[in-house]
Amino acid sequence: MAIKLQNNITLSDSAASLILEHPLGPTTDVFKSNYHYSQEKTESSIYNESEFLQWNRITIKKFLFALTMHPVSRHLKVNPKISLEDWIISILKSLCPNDLDLPIFNVLAISIAESNSDDAAWKSVLNFCHEFLGMPEKVLMPYGVKKWLKSNQSFHQDVMESTYVKVGGFWEKYFCQGEWMEQSSLNFQGLSLANDGGPLRDFPKELSEETLWRWLDSFQQRYLYQAHVYPVESRKTDSKSSSEKRNQASRGKYFRMTRIGDIPGKQCHRQLDVFTKSRSCPADRPHHWRDVQVVGVLTNSLTHENWRNTFLQLEYYMREVFYAQPLRRFAHGFLLYGTQLRLWVFDPCGAFGSGMIDIKDEPERFIRAITAYTLMNDDELGIDLFMDSDNQQITVKINQSTENQVFQLDMTPVMKKRLKLWSGTTCYRTTDGNYLAKFSWTESNRPSEIDLHHQARNVAGVAKLIGSQVIISTDEIRSGLDFVAIDPDVYESVARYTSKNDDEALEDHEIAKRRELDWTFCPKLGSMTLSCHCVSPVGRPLRSFKSAKELITAMRDITKAHRQLLLEAKILYCDIHESNMRIIDPLLNNGISGTLINLSQAIPLEDPKYENLRAINTPFTSPDLLKKENKLIKQTFRHDLESLFYVILSICMVYGWEGQEPSYKSSLFQNDTGKHPDWKHVNDSYIGNFSYGLRQDFVRKFSCMEKLATNLKNIFYTANKDRPSSTPSDPNILYVPILEAYEEALLGLDG
């Protein structure tokens, strides 16, 4: 018997019996008696509030610590690799004092108070952990600005190369054709009348993040919190009568994550400046990136003083929005520098914005924008409309047919990949368990994935395409905009500011190259397409192997599929990443144990127009392809096979550690592009002391695979630890010894 908790987490039989043997009641009783759920107003209310806050902080920390000592928390798994005990410890380690004032902790306290059984209390704790670890992450790094700048140079450069300022037609496209136009005009008129013709007469004179927020919150309480004479509209586009529009309450609401200090301009500890959420979100649900609709940054800094850092802060927030909402098409954001406003839209190709709006000179534009953000429907906000949100269904065209088929999806992702600027490929399982629905944004200049699947239809070990749908392209998102009319003066100032600040974080010999790059900078206009491809078989993630033999067999069959794809279908896979590989049941798949599921980055070798394409898929990309001096190197099957080698190394180092999250802590991977694991890349020098690295990093249960790892390493590296700089003309010069190494390892396990 097993007890099933929320989020599909199962409590083992041993843990279920432990609940009976070790009740949680004594721990929760102490917590309930010490936590102050409310404070009555008294003459000394300021003193009492401060005292209560501090007392509650201590009570929360003691409660969480007590949970880590409880026997049940060691047996309750929040995922197959980590216990609740370890998860709570990771939360405690990351906590700052102000974090404990977040509403999520009060929600936990209330749910514990209302729990009528130990099962309910454990569910509350599990839900708290899931929500806390999904909350917006802190943007400010604890180890200083210089190190933060240096560690994120790659991210900064990618942002600069895909950002457009003062795009022609921006205001007309996004703020001159919504159903909310009349409502925004009414709000402006009402504000003008209330202030004797000066709509912003009550706008703060002393500018700070705190005063700006107070004004915005006051505005929404007066003009966006109208009485609900009519029910709040559906988020879908629909029409209403004129009288209904006049009484329309906003669909969205502005929020602020935490309180900001009163010192003007001070970057106080917080998790998010200003954002909107739908009013339909439950009031007691903690803030989560999945609910965020529009993001804003408030600052009293002058535009030219803080343009770049403030914009990068907004870019970081937007990246988290796309991570949490992988099917989102685009998102709105804004920067308010005192009385200077710039509006932005972010999509997978980058960011594009309006010209600078001086709200003192153009108050009606300001009021229209902040009103529009709360009245826009899903389509205008960029939230996905291509799925039936009620039934979680998507309709796709059957492969090689004119017919359509409807698939119902389980919206818990079975695979979600993070890229630097947006969410990468995301896969959902159909509710019948037979298919994977793969959503991905791909460059529009890449070959059709549908054509590639047709070309690879006879390759064993490559997922079969059942149906597909092209959803939208960034060209459609950006239609009607003029990217020729960008403001070169803004980019020049950004380049100067970039050089000034980043030079402090760079070594002397890097400064000249960086400045040269900044001054010759010109943003590139990319184009990407969002598509859905339904494939089978579904299989399991590579990391979910049940034995070393299953892992080796799957990797062997994936290598065979890669060879057949190359030699028979004339396709180079290119996109080697553990998330693109699945373990499948050989009894149901003609003896095959591993499959490749994603052809979005593959290259047809017989089409010359694609011969110079590449697919850089960190952290497993061959170091050869990452070196700046090797930008003209052609990607070949040798690089793919080398990446497969790094995949199996990482699995033996990462996923075998019981009770730990994947962390890429091995020195095999290094990171100079940010904190996310997917941004890391292979440390070439690791091979120089390979045997020592295996002893340090390989999990003990994988000691049987150390010989396999060494044999694979010797195929790619010479005795002098050098990697061959060329690809053999005969692919089997590499494939044959690699497959022999896998077969030898399997024989060793059987023996």
Token code pair at residue 88: 């709570």
More confident residue, 170 or 268: 170
pLDDT at 11: 53
Tokens of 717: 């590296």
Query: Do residue 50 and residue 182 come from a single domain?
Result: no
Q: Let me know if residue 307 belongs to a domain.
A: yes
d(CA 577, CA 650): 11
Residue 636, amino acid: T
**Residue 420 confidence (pLDDT):** 62
In a domain, 606, yes or no: no
In the prediction, which pLDDT does 641 show?
95
**293 domain residue, yes or no:** yes
Asked whether residue 389 is domain-assigned, the answer is no
Q: What is the CATH number of the domain that holds 338?
A: 3.90.1570
Whether residue 340 has pLDDT greater than 70: yes
How many CA atoms are closer than 13 Å to the CA of 742, on its beta-carbon side? 20
Does any domain span residue 663?
Answer: no
Crossing angle between the packed helical segments 153-160 and 488-502, to the nearest 10 degrees: 170
Measuring CA to CA, which residue among 639, 697, 712 is closest to residue 667?
697
Domain, as residue range, for 283: 177-383
Q: Which residue has the higher pLDDT, 547 or 42?
A: 547
Number of domains in the chain: 2
Return the DSSP state at 458.
Answer: T
Report the relative pairing of strands 350-353 and 163-164 from DSSP bridges. Answer: parallel
Look at residues 348, 364, 383 and tell me which one is the last residue of a structural domain.
Answer: 383
Q: What is the mean pLDDT of the chain?
A: 76
Domain boundary among 359, 383, 407: 383
HSE of 528, CA atoms in CB hemisphere, 13 A: 20
Residues 378 and 257 in one domain: yes
Among 193-197, 452-456, 519-523, top mean pLDDT goes to 452-456
- 105 pLDDT more than 90: no
Using the predicted structure, report yes or no on whether residue 143 has a pLDDT greater than 50.
no
Report residue 534's pLDDT band, with 50, 70 and 90 as the boundaries: very high
Dist CA 662 CA 81 (whole Å): 9
Inter-residue contact 650 to 581 (CB < 8 Å): no
At residue 495 the predicted structure's pLDDT band, cuts being 50, 70 and 90, is very low
Task: Say yes or no: 93 and 223 in one domain.
Answer: no
pLDDT tens sequence across 716-750: 887 665 666 678 999 999 999 999 999 999 998 87
Most confident range (mean pLDDT) of 123-137, 218-232, 252-266, 538-552 is 538-552
Per the listing, tokens 């569910």 go with 123
- Are residue 223 and residue 372 in the same domain, yes or no? yes
pLDDT greater than 80 at residue 500: no
Angle between helices 25-34 and 103-114 (to 10 degrees): 120
Whether residues 187 and 38 share a domain: the answer is: no
Query: Has residue 528 been placed in a domain?
Result: no
Higher per-residue pLDDT: 535 or 320: 535
pLDDT band at residue 163 under the 50/70/90 scheme: confident
pLDDT at 192 exceeding the cut of 80: yes
In a domain? residue 40: yes
Higher local confidence (pLDDT), 680 or 148: 680
- Same-domain status, 284 and 345: yes
Same domain flag for 110 and 200: no
The residue behind tokens 């306290």 is 109
What's the mean pLDDT in 499-504? Answer: 45
Least trusted range by pLDDT, from 182-186, 204-208, 416-420, 598-602: 416-420
How many angstroms separate the CA atoms of 14 and 546, rounded?
A: 21
Residue 360 pairs in a beta bridge with none
- Which amino acid appears at position 185 of this protein? S
Report pLDDT digits (tens) over 363-387: 999 999 999 999 999 999 999 876 6
Q: Is the pLDDT of residue 309 over 70?
A: yes
Is the pLDDT at 428 greater than 80? The verdict is yes
Residue 560 has pLDDT above 50, yes or no: yes
CA distance 177 to 197: 26
671 vs 674: CA distance, rounded Å:
7
Distance CA 226, CA 233 (A): 13
Same domain, 212 and 360: yes
Same domain, 187 and 121: no
State the amino acid at position 258 in one-letter form: T
Same domain flag for 268 and 378? yes
Which sign, positive or negative, has the C-alpha torsion 470, 471, 472, 473? negative
What letter would DSSP give residue 211?
H
The highest-confidence range among 342-346, 486-490, 501-505, by mean pLDDT, is 342-346
Q: Whose CA is closest to 498, among 480, 520, 525?
A: 520
Contact, 24 vs 70, CB < 8 A? yes
pTM equals: 0.72
637 domain residue, yes or no: no
Last residue of a domain, one of 334, 363, 383: 383
Q: Are 532 and 439 in contact (CB under 8 A)?
A: yes
- Whether 574 and 640 have beta carbons less than 8 Å apart is answered as yes
Whether residue 285 sits in one domain with residue 185: yes
pLDDT score recorded for residue 563: 98
Residue 201 has pLDDT above 50, yes or no: yes
204 and 351 together in one domain? yes
pLDDT score, position 219: 92
